[in-house]
Amino acid sequence: MKIIKTKDYAELSQEVFKVIKETLETYDEPSINTTTGASYDGTFELLVQAINAGELKIAHSIWTNLDEYIAERDKSFTVYTYMHKKFYDLIKEKPKYIGLIDGSVSDIQGEIDRYNEVLKKYPRDLQIVGLGVNAHLGANEPGTSFDSRLFLANSVESTIQSTMQYHGLTREEAPTQMITMGLADIMEANHNVVASSGVRKAQAVRDTLEGPIHEDCPAS
């Protein structure tokens, strides 16, 4: 494990950008699975700039996502909306394959089965995850088994509050469930990157790096 401390958010975004760039330039058909959210807004901006400037090739790569809220796809807070508004709709060159989880379907198990096939087909070279304020990964909240696989998860209150803050939602508008890759799925990738910034994440970072490896701290 390599720990990179950066002086600010801009440098953090640069570091993650470098990891993604290296992945895109190393593999013939790089498979990248990513989360969304505040931790990676800057990284996606750098990716868009580099791709549109012709400095970074993406047409040979596979992109999948870590999780998705149970909601209509066009809601402002969905992973679908994030990935399109902040990445796919902005880049001139598109990836070879884009695979998103659909949290709007009535047959949740059917969607889990479908996406499991996608994950099986595209083993991840790079997994990008974000740290929850309680050290969750994806929607694997504290107490989730380290053996978890793609499943329907309930979010805890601190996660719901973070989602409300980031997306400017009321408690009634905020989603409370996600289909999420499990911790075992996350650990399968060749490389994992976990970026974290801000005082609100400080305790989660400490617990992850200095605390015991325990299911109460999913990121541990």
Q: Which of 33, 65, 134, 140 is catalytic?
A: 134
Q: Is 180:207 a contact under the CB 8 Å cutoff?
A: no
Binding mask 63-82 for ligand GLP (x = CB under 6 A): ---xx---------------
- In order of 27, 93, 205, 211, the CA distances from 149 in angstroms are 26, 32, 24, 24
Q: Which of 31, 81, 159, 208 binds ligand GLP (CB under 6 A)?
A: 159
Q: Which of 13, 23, 35, 81 binds ligand GLP (CB under 6 A)?
A: 35
166 binds ligand GLP (CB under 6 A): yes
Q: Which amino acid is at 148?
A: S
Enumerate the β-bridge partners of residue 152: 179
Q: Which of 24, 48, 70, 139 binds ligand GLP (CB under 6 A)?
A: 139
Q: Is 136 a catalytic residue?
A: yes
181 binds ligand GLP (CB under 6 A): no
- CA 34-37-42 angle, 5° bins: 85
- In order of 1, 209, 211, the CA distances from 58 in angstroms are 27, 33, 38
For the CB of residue 114, give the shortest distance to ligand GLP in the complex, in Å.
Answer: 20
Pairwise CA distance, residues 128 & 182, whole Å: 13
Residues that bind ligand GLP (CB under 6 A): 35, 37-39, 66-67, 130, 132, 138-139, 159, 162, 166, 178
